[in-house]
Structure 1
Amino acid sequence: MPSPKLALFAVLGTLVFLGLAVLGWGGFGAFFAHPARIALVAVTAVLTVASLFSGGNISPGEREDRGNRWVLIVFTVLGLLGAYVPAWTDRMELWTLDGDTVRWLGVVIFTLGGALRLWPVFVLGRRFSGLVAIQPGHTLVTGGIYGVIRNPSYLGLIVGALGWALAFRSGIGVVLALLNLVPLVARIRAEERLLADQFGAEYEAYRQRTWRLVPGLY
């Protein structure tokens, strides 16, 4: 179980995120008038509850790259914009993609992205930190999905953000989701430097046979 402080942070963060979406769509009645948006909230709630049992943390551990903390601010800003703007553009019919098929496709993609985001956290447990840090007893995990890509949780973040935007048919939301790649790549590079310094040739060999995010692409 997570600490009460971390659990409170996760729950409040989710409530703020969903609250901004509801505000963007003009209130509770308008927001919950469509089943796709109800499904989106339900999936978000399930993912939040699941995250409380994942073992992830925000500990600086034994060693941390504090110079990379700026990405957390960028992620927060993009997250808040990503919560509100797609809902608002959906309501205003601004740069939207037509059809309920897009909405439900977005819900499915959001669900898959959220699952991919959490799955590696359960695999790593206490070794997964919201900070770029080496945790006590830190070891490399190179099997399963980690035998193909080195950052599956980050891929899940991008996929989930794209799904959220599509659930609101928002072209602007898609752009905001893709903007997450800027701080994400910076974070990946910082993590790779830290892991290479910690594990040396073992990590270099692992890096040579895997991809960062998308097999065959990056």
Structure 2
Amino acid sequence: MTWYALLIGAVAAERLAELTVARRNTRWSMARGGTETGRGHYPALVALHMGLLVGCLVEVRVAGRPFIPGVGWPMLALVVAAQGLRWWCIGTLGRQWNTRVIVVPGLPTVTKGPYRILRHPNYLAVVVEGAALPLVHGAWLTAAAFTVCNAGLLAVRVRSEEAALSAAARQAPPSDERLAARQGDAGRAPPR
């Protein structure tokens, strides 16, 4: 159990690192006219993620959940992979990454890194970690509760994020390519 508590502590420390990055990115975004949407669900999101960490420790301790190597080690590998994906997302988005939904006017939607493959890869990391972290040490009730609650919150979060991105795209000035397509032949350079 001691090593599991250390793992949960490491994940908690990682969350604090995320919040530090998010606060810095929030200041940067707001200084550039960023607008936040979806504030209403954010406290529930924070509570759910804190509850995941606490639930992992409490369930293992109170219910005496054993470490089962055939399940625990693969789940630990998934937790590590989820962390890798999360930090790949953070690195790819750079200053645009946040734990809140903040859109800065004029910035393009990121379509590189993991965003080439998935529209919301960070949420895949959250889903995988939320199921795998408790199962490292057999906390299946915590895994199930987090998964159900997270599904509801993610539905709200993704809708909020998609609405913010759509609104920003409508307000963004057209790119040269889209402008040329809209103008037809008048927007093309004359032949030489």
Q: Do these two structures clear the TM 0.5 threshold for a shared fold by scoring above it? A: yes
Asked if 1:83 corresponds to 2:53, the answer is yes
Asked if 1:109 corresponds to 2:101, the answer is no
Asked if 1:152 corresponds to 2:121, the answer is yes
Q: Where in structure 1 are there 5+ consecutive unaligned residues?
A: 1-30, 203-218
In the other structure, the counterpart of 1:57 is 25
Question: Under a length normalisation based on structure 2, what TM-score does the superposition of the two structures give?
Answer: 0.71
Offset of 1:183 from its aligned partner?
A: 1.3
Q: Where in structure 2 are there 5+ consecutive unaligned residues?
A: 173-192
**Deviation by residue 1:1-24 (Cα, 9 ceiling, x = unmatched):** xxxxxxxxxxxxxxxxxxxxxxxx
Offset of 1:122 from its aligned partner?
A: 0.7
Q: CA 1:83–1:144 in 2, change beyond 3 Å: closer, same or farther?
A: closer
Structure 2 SS opposite 1:169: coil
Q: 1:182 aligns with which of 133, 152, 160?
A: 152
Q: 1:69 aligns with which of 22, 27, 39?
A: 39
- The structure whose residues are more often helix, as a share, is 2
Q: Tell me the percent identity.
A: 21
Offset of 1:45 from its aligned partner?
A: 7.2
Structure 2 SS opposite 1:180: helix
Structure 1 contact 36–103 (Cα < 8 Å) conserved: no
User: What residue identity is the alignment partner of 1:182?
Assistant: G
Q: Distance in 1 between matches of 2:169 and 2:120?
A: 17
Q: CA 1:176–1:107 in 2, change beyond 3 Å: closer, same or farther?
A: same
RMSD: 3.1
Structure 2 SS opposite 1:133: strand
Offset of 1:76 from its aligned partner?
A: 1.8
Asked if 1:133 corresponds to 2:105, the answer is no
Q: Distance in 2 between matches of 1:100 and 1:116?
A: 24
Offset of 1:200 from its aligned partner?
A: 3.5
Structure 1 contact 86–173 (Cα < 8 Å) conserved: yes
Question: Under a length normalisation based on structure 1, what TM-score does the superposition of the two structures give?
Answer: 0.64
Offset of 1:97 from its aligned partner?
A: 7.6
Q: Distance in 2 between matches of 1:198 and 1:118?
A: 25
Q: Distance in 2 between matches of 1:56 and 1:149?
A: 25
Query: Which gives a bigger RCO, structure 1 or 2 (Cα 8 Å, sep 6+)?
Result: 2
Q: Distance in 2 between matches of 1:71 and 1:49?
A: 19
Offset of 1:120 from its aligned partner?
A: 0.9
Mark the structure with the bigger radius of gyration: 2
Q: CA 1:166–1:110 in 2, change beyond 3 Å: closer, same or farther?
A: same
Q: Distance in 1 between matches of 2:13 and 2:67?
A: 28
Equivalent pairs, count: 167
Q: Distance in 2 between matches of 1:54 and 1:85?
A: 24
Per mean C-alpha deviation after superposition, the further-off stretch among 75-84 and 54-63 is 54-63
Structure 2 contact 34–105 (Cα < 8 Å) conserved: no
Structure 2 contact 85–121 (Cα < 8 Å) conserved: yes
